Structure formats: structure tokens, C-alpha cells
Amino acid sequence: MPILELAKKKKLSISRVEEYYNALRTNIQLSGEDIKVIAVSSTFPGEGKTTTSTNLALTFAKAGNKTLLIDADIRNSKMLGGVFKSGEKVSGLTEYLARNTDLSQGLCETDEENLFVITSGQASPNPTALLQSERFTTMMSVLRRHYDYIIVDTPPIGMVVDATLIAKVCDASLLVVAANVVKRKMVQKSKTQLEQSSTPFLGVVLNKYNVQTDKYGFYGSYGNYGDRLREEKKSEK
């Protein structure tokens, strides 16, 4: 089984916000004992959904839970190479769903105790079809029997429909919102889209709020989604 190493920069940043994620973990656990598989999305790219997914998974793992982090952004992932490092070639979700490899080859251990990862794999030319497949549904059903918690990092729901499809096979969903970046009507639209999966919506995680300066940050565009992002922002004006 391949072993992924959490980037040093990520380890330092996580230590500074650990208290907040512990509170988020507690709130999720208090939401119901049957909530074990959680989809994490955002309206636009750059709002921090991957960081939130990773930190949340780490928090569950550090609390003694066998935790799996799934990178389901098979369109434009930044997790492998940005969040985790690997000294060897790693296959991922795309390869498994396309029947090019066995799931065991894409399942990775990490240098963090109790934390396991399935990377996205190569960018897929037909991601929606793969996520709608019975193979994906069956995979999620099997995995939930082997882990205490599963955190699924999805593509931005304001960009593509993938997050809704993924949420259908999860127990609940969260929406990460970068402060002062996305307007309320877009947040409401994203919330409605997640609720269309018939999966309970747990709430919003407000991200990138600077408590020292009362100013907000913005990461920018997101790979192939850049053009659509600019169009969405123009329409809001």
C-alpha cells in the first residue's frame, strides 16, 4: 500500500487551527450517530474545501477514528502534490472507476495515524459518468463498512453537478464559504443544490476570515473552471 506524507507546510497550518476543527468534528458527531460519510463542497474554487476536508479528516483521525479521505475532484484535483507528497506513482479514483486498476492500489496509508487517502487519480474526460456509475455507489457502500468516518472532497458545486451526485451516497454534506467572496444568493443556491441529493445538509463552514484584521482573503481561479467563474461573478454585478 503506498504511503503519502502530509506536506510540512500543511502540518504547520493545521496546528494553528486545530481547535476550530475539533469543534467542527464535535458538532458533526452531535448531529447524529448515523453520520459517518460527509461530502465537503464549495460554490466556487479557491474557497478552501480541500483544506477543510483534509483538516476535518485529520481531526477525526487524531481522535482515534479510522478515517478515510477521498479526493473525488476527478476534474481538477490539487490534493496530491499540494497537500500530500508521494515518492512513488499512485493510482486513484479515476483509474478504479474506469476499471483500469484495483481499489487496493489506489488506497494509501499516510504518515498520520488512523488516516488513509484515496487520491483522485488522473483527470477524467467523463467525470460525471464515472460518478453516476454503479461502481462508484458500490465502492462507497463497501468502504463505509471499513472506516469510522469518510470525508469526501468534491468539486465546487457552483461549477459542476458532481458534488450533488457524490452527496447522494453520503450521510451528510457541508458547504465551505470563503468570507466576503461569494454572495448570499449563490450560497443559498449551492445549499439548495446539495439538498437536492436528499442528503442532510449540516451547514456552512465560514473560511478565510481574519480575526485580527477583520479582512477576508481570496485564492483566485481554479484551473479549467476559470472562465465560468468569471461569468458567474459578472452576472452577480
- pLDDT band (50, 70, 90) for residue 222: very low
What percent of the chain lies above the pLDDT cut of 70? 88
pLDDT of 88 = 83
Q: Tell me the pLDDT of the chain averaged across its residues.
A: 87
In the chain, how many H helices and how many E strands?
10, 9
What CATH number is given to the structural domain containing 124? 3.40.50.300
List Cβ neighbours of 236 (8 Å cut-off, separation of 6 or more). Answer: 183, 185, 186
Q: Which of 67-71, 114-118, 209-213, 233-237 has the lowest mean pLDDT?
A: 233-237
pLDDT in tens, 26-51: 999 999 999 999 999 999 999 999 99
The residues with which 118 forms a beta bridge, in sequence order, are 70, 107
Residue 219 has pLDDT above 70, yes or no: no
**Cell numbers placing 58:** 485529520
The pTM of the full predicted model, rounded to 2 decimals, is: 0.86
Domain span including residue 148? 3-236
- Mean pLDDT, residues 7-12: 80
Q: In what order do the strands lie in the sheet with 201-207?
A: 84-85, 3-6, 107-110, 115-118, 67-71, 149-153, 37-42, 172-178, 201-207
What is the rounded CA–CA span in Å between residue 162 and residue 146? 24
The residues with which 5 forms a beta bridge, in sequence order, are 85
Total count of domains within the chain: 1
What is the rounded CA–CA span in Å between residue 187 and residue 181? 10
Residue 228 has pLDDT above 80, yes or no: no
**Cell numbers placing 168:** 447522494
